[in-house]
Amino acid sequence: MKEVRVCEAMKSPVGTLSDGTVLHQQDGGTKSRQVPIWEKSNLTLEEAAAYSGIGINKLREMSDSKDCTFVLWNGTKRLLKRRRLDEHLDQLFSI
């Protein structure tokens, strides 16, 4: 197992790699990590609007359908599957 030296600012562990290396956040675990939108698999309505250029209300309307293939419900939270949204939009002429 590797010995990992951690400065005082890196207090709380985030996880462990398969080789036993302990991962720490540089800010002590107080800030969330920022992941670019194009790397996320699921987007909120706000993120999907920024990503696609389509308004939040139009995205909400499009994803309200029961047969919508690009919506993922986490309880009452609506997430849009980015790749499936892209595929859906590629097939459309207008919205």
Name the residue ranges covered by the structural domains of the chain. Answer: 1-32, 37-90
Strand residue runs (E) in the chain: 13-16, 22-24, 42-43, 71-74, 77-81
Q: Which two tokens stand for residue 8?
A: 């005082």
CATH for 37-90, options being 3.90.105.50, 3.40.1210.10, 3.40.50.300, 3.90.1570.10:
3.90.105.50
Mean pLDDT of 10-22: 60
pLDDT band at 10 (very low <50, low <70, confident <90, very high): very low
35 falls in which pLDDT band (50, 70, 90)?
confident
Average pLDDT, the chain: 81
d(CA 48, CA 50): 5
- Going by pLDDT thresholds of 50, 70 and 90, the confidence category of residue 34 is confident
Residue 93 has pLDDT above 50, yes or no: yes
